[in-house]
Amino acid sequence: MKIHDRILLAFLGLGVAIGVAAYVSLSLSQRTLIESIGKHSVELANTTMNHVYDSIQQRLEALQCNALPLGEHSILSESNTLFDQEEDVNDLILPLEEAWTKNDPTGRISDIASNPLSTSLANNIECSDYYVKKYGHVSFGEVFVTNKHGANVAQTAMTSDYFQADELWWQHAKDYGTYVGQIQYDESTGLYAVDLVIRLDDKAGNFAGILKAVYNVRQLTSILESVKYGSVYDSTRLRLMTGDQIIFDTRRALPAASLKPAIKQQIVDTEAGYGHFQLADQKALVAFYSGFYSDRPGTLDTTLILSYDTSEILAPTAILKAQFITVTIMLIACSTIGGVVLAKSISKPLLSLKNMAFNISCGDLNTSSRINATGEIGELAESFDRMTHDLRYTLDNLQSEIRTRQDAEAKLAFNNHKLTHMLEELERVNQELKSFAHVASHDLREPLRKIVMSGNILQESLSGQISSDDEECLEYMVDGASRMTHLISALLTHSQMGGIDDLFEPVDMDLLVQEIQKYNLAQLIEETGTLIETPDPLPEILGDPIQLSRLFQNIISNAIKFQRESDTPVITIESHSVYGGMACIEVQDNGIGIAAEDYEDIFTMFKRLHTGDEFEGTGIGLATCKKIVDHHGGSIRVESPPGQGSRFFITLPKAKKTNTDAASHVEHASA
């Protein structure tokens, strides 16, 4: 995708992102608003229900105050006395219950409705004329009193039953002192009412009877109406529900339509809450609170439901939403226009730079950007121009360097050819020298051996027949010939050192040292009483077993040879770890030692630090050792603290795997 299109898409994406962010923000605001109103409505329902219960409580307390003297009323006392005298109160109750059911107003029933206690109830408690005049409806649908046996003794209106002791409200009031029932339809009064029931006691505190007042709930609607009128939303609606029945609705006359099952289920599941529900004519926010008047079973249990039209609640955000949409469209349009302009201003010089880069790739280093721009693009164009200039300069230098190197390569090829020829010539000369050394040593050793043999024969045959001077001269001759024989043998051995690395194999150094003691230097070690110690096992070395045997024979024989006559040679052989796959083997003796200035000279051919009279030797042994070590890619050095003998440090490559077959090579070398 071209940068022009990317910039345009970026601006479009930015505009869309801002629009989406605005929409999400608006949606969150709507959700927050609904949550806030829902929580506030739950709190309002709770407060309103508390006001309703407080109103009922005040009415109950006023009723208790008016009922205090009724426990001693003569009508109630006489009724209780009459019933107490009967062995079976049913003899009094059943006839009156039958007449009551038939609604026969004669006889005792008529006396109950017109006695002084009934008149007192009508005038002091019911006060129907007063409440009708003030509120347009009665406050109490009916008020009546029963004796302690449950039979009616006074009433303001005809009740549905004469005997009340079998009613739940009567039993609760007797046990607990008061009872507030559920709001329900009262058949006697034809009203939605709540039963307010009070226990009546005499002065001694004995149970005397029950007072029941059927309280008209229309008295409570003023509280709910005030909540509706105080709301800022015209669609505010309050409903009071007990059980599954709506008993009051601020919008509709009773009986009101029942609630949706979803709302009912949520009310059953939780004590208080809110949510969105689709009602018959609108989508509404519904909040509710369910409360109990007391914790006694069977007492008042109501739910207050508040609902609002969602469209009215979200009206401010709807306007804001329309404004957001307008602004978002304008923003996307502006972003598109700005993106097009910016994309062209960037893509045009970049296209020129692209063409310039193509020309450079084709080898045209004289091209130029010709871009008049500021900022980063202008700097980029200047960098391109500077790059082409540097490329031209670098190319010229490279061409010059190539020519120089071609000349050097030609000279190097000539010198390599010349060096190869010289190496071939050197190899030929070395081969001739080896052949000469072998032939010379063989041709020289034979006459010398004859001289030594003849001298030995003369010493034996002429012993005691010649003068001491002649014997000494003959001894010098034999000794000189023997030394020359040893020197020629050492030269031959030195010339034979070196070979092909492919012959290298793992060599067991512990076994090699043992073979040297047992075979190669056995006679010398026995004659001198030499003690050779290896405190720890030695590592396996990758090398030529014959050459390694010669190497340690020379080192050990020198340690025995260069010794004070009064001391017994003690030689210690140890190993040390060295990085890089190498091992260092240390050979330490208690001999006469070596001066520090001679550390390097002792490895030189024919270099001797002592005269032949002091210590025998050819001056070739350590030179041969160094040649063997060099051939193995190692090193050899010496340290000799004054008066403490010598310590030779020999570094050799360690073997990668164990191969005890090296012992056979060592034995072969010993032979």
Provide the residue type at 627 as one letter. Answer: K
Distance CA(391)–CA(315), nearest Å, equals 70
Indicate whether 108 pLDDT > 50. yes
Indicate whether 648 pLDDT > 90. yes
Choose between 59 and 211: higher pLDDT: 211
Q: What's the confidence (pLDDT) of residue 390?
A: 78
Q: Is the peptide bond before 255 cis (omega within 30 degrees of 0)?
A: yes
- The string of pLDDT tens digits covering residues 306-332 is 888 888 888 877 777 777 778 778 877
DSSP annotation string for 439-486: HHHHHHHHHHHHHHHHHHHHHHHSTTTS-HHHHHHHHHHHHHHHHHHH
605 touches 617 (CB < 8 A): no
613 phi and psi, to 5 degrees?
-70, -30
157 touches 169 (CB < 8 A): no
Six token digits for residue 74: 């003569």
Q: What's the confidence (pLDDT) of residue 492?
A: 61
Confidence of residue 470 (pLDDT cuts 50, 70, 90): confident
Distance CA(616)–CA(486), nearest Å, equals 10
Task: Summarize the confidence of residues 32-47 as an average pLDDT.
Answer: 86
- The string of pLDDT tens digits covering residues 627-637 is 899 989 999 99
Distance CA(77)–CA(202), nearest Å, equals 9
Indicate whether 242 pLDDT > 60. yes
Confidence of residue 444 (pLDDT cuts 50, 70, 90): low
- The string of pLDDT tens digits covering residues 566-608 is 889 999 999 987 777 899 999 999 988 888 887 887 887 666 6
Indicate whether 67 pLDDT > 60. yes
437 touches 495 (CB < 8 A): yes
Domain span(s) for CATH 3.30.565.10 in the chain: 500-670
| Residue 156: DSSP 8-state | S
Task: Summarize the confidence of residues 290-298 as an average pLDDT.
Answer: 61
Point out which residues pair with 216 in neighbouring strands. 193
Q: What's the confidence (pLDDT) of residue 433?
A: 64
Confidence of residue 609 (pLDDT cuts 50, 70, 90): low
Distance CA(316)–CA(328), nearest Å, equals 18
Choose between 651 and 232: higher pLDDT: 651
Q: Apex CA 359: angle with CA 356 and CA 361, to 5°? A: 110
Indicate whether 662 pLDDT > 80. no
Point out which residues pair with 531 in neighbouring strands. 570
Task: Summarize the confidence of residues 122-132 as an average pLDDT.
Answer: 74
Task: Summarize the confidence of residues 524-538 as an average pLDDT.
Answer: 93
Lowest mean pLDDT across 383-392, 474-483, 552-561: 474-483
What does pTM read for this prediction? Answer: 0.46
Residue linked to tokens 């051919």: 605
Beta-carbon-side half-sphere exposure of residue 6 (alpha carbons within 13 Å) = 5
> Which CATH code is given to the segment(s) 500-670?
3.30.565.10
Indicate whether 661 pLDDT > 50. no
CATH architecture of 401-496: Orthogonal Bundle (1.10)
CB atoms under 10 Å from CB of 173, counted, come to: 25
Q: What's the confidence (pLDDT) of residue 120?
A: 85
List of residues 6+ apart from 605 with CB closer than 8 A: 494, 619, 620, 623
Q: What's the confidence (pLDDT) of residue 88?
A: 87
Q: What's the confidence (pLDDT) of residue 515?
A: 92
Q: Is 496 exposed, middle or buried (0-12, 13-18, 19+ CB in 10 A)?
A: middle
Indicate whether 429 pLDDT > 80. no
Distance CA(202)–CA(123), nearest Å, equals 22
- The string of pLDDT tens digits covering residues 244-281 is 777 778 776 544 455 666 666 666 667 788 877 776 66
Task: Summarize the confidence of residues 529-556 as an average pLDDT.
Answer: 92
Domain span(s) for CATH 1.10.287 in the chain: 401-496
Q: Which CATH superfamily is domain 50-220 in?
A: PAS domain (3.30.450.20)
13 phi and psi, to 5 degrees?
-60, -40
Indicate whether 392 pLDDT > 80. no
List of residues 6+ apart from 538 with CB closer than 8 A: 509, 510, 513, 573, 575, 585
Task: Name the strand (E) or helix (H) holding 341.
Answer: helix 315-361
- The string of pLDDT tens digits covering residues 148-171 is 999 999 988 888 888 999 999 999
| Residue 654: DSSP 8-state | B
Lowest mean pLDDT across 369-378, 463-472, 499-508, 628-637: 369-378
Beta-carbon-side half-sphere exposure of residue 446 (alpha carbons within 13 Å) = 5
The distance of Cα 298 from the centroid of its chain, to the nearest Å, equals 58
264 touches 279 (CB < 8 A): no
Task: Name the strand (E) or helix (H) holding 420.
Answer: helix 375-461
DSSP annotation string for 61-90: HHHHHHHGGGGG-HHHHHHHHHHHH-S-TH
Q: What is the mean pLDDT of the chain?
A: 79
Distance CA(622)–CA(646), nearest Å, equals 13
Six token digits for residue 466: 């010649």
Nearest to 310 by CA among 236, 239, 416, 400: 236
Indicate whether 527 pLDDT > 80. yes
Task: Summarize the confidence of residues 179-186 as an average pLDDT.
Answer: 80
Domain span(s) for CATH 3.30.450.20 in the chain: 50-220
Three-state SS for 635? strand
